[in-house]
A and B are shown apart, each in its own frame.
Chain A
Amino acid sequence: MSWSFADLTAVVPVLLRNPFLDVSYPERGVALAILDTGYDGLALVPESVFRALRLNEHRATSIIATLADGTKVPLTQVLGLLEIPDLELIEEGNIETNPGVSEILVGMLAVRNLVAHINGCSRTLSLEEC
């Protein structure tokens, strides 16, 4: 499955789910998440998305994240589901947030069972199962 990207940011259409309170984000359709190979988690979302998923109502755990410049920031995390509907793929794991996050990122855990091919010439991201 391939998706085009316009501004050199590889994006994947995803659906995030909180199976415990039966909430999805977005409620209809999909959201575009940036594939960030420098992030080794599953999904990092803005606080507004975390709240929309009502993950903020759960008893969260936390983990320290190291940014590229060595700065350390705390991430709040709750278990949830990341779905890539076009691939019929569902990954379970921590959905994380921090006040400084403004985009939905999917990290290396999201593609651990996929072959990812970024084609800078045609500006497409292809993902397929291993």
Chain B
Amino acid sequence: MGVITLTIDDDLETRFRRKVSRIFGAGRGTLGKAAEESIRLWLEAPPEKRGEKIVYWAELDGKKVAEDTSLVGLADGLRKIGLDPRDVILRSSEPQPKERHLGFPTARTPK
């Protein structure tokens, strides 16, 4: 198990401790459990919620050849270096789901 020592705002600490105690009780390890869940949620949040800019880039033969924070900027960048955008693979730092949903199932198929 990893160890992280943090310094946080007093008010935030008080609110966090109160909430953890209300939900999990005052037992040992409850703060760590809540902090772990908070970090997990933060990591899974959309990049823009973390104040992170989405980056778009073009790949040619597995190498990044241009990048920008907008598709229009990336298109300009490719033009400047004389690369045909049809020769590259366009990628985004936005997390991609493993699968798309096209209508959500309303009933499970009987086994």
Contacts and interface: CB of A to CB of B under 8 A. Distances in A.
Given A20-B78, A20-B85, A69-B105, A64 B90 contact: no
Interface residues of A, number: 34
A20 B75 contact: yes
A81 interface: yes
A93 B103 CA distance: 19
Given A59-B86, A92-B70, A64 B104 contact: no
A90 B81 CA distance: 26
Interface residues of B, number: 30
B71 A78 contact: no
B85 A39 contact: no
Interface string A18-59: 011110000000000000101111001000000000000111
Interface string A47-79: 000000000011101011111111011010011
Interface in B88-104: 88-92, 94, 96-104
Interface of B: 46, 54, 56, 70-72, 74-75, 78, 85-92, 94, 96-106, 109
Interface of A: 19-22, 36, 38-41, 44, 57-59, 61, 63-70, 72-73, 75, 78-81, 92-94, 96, 112
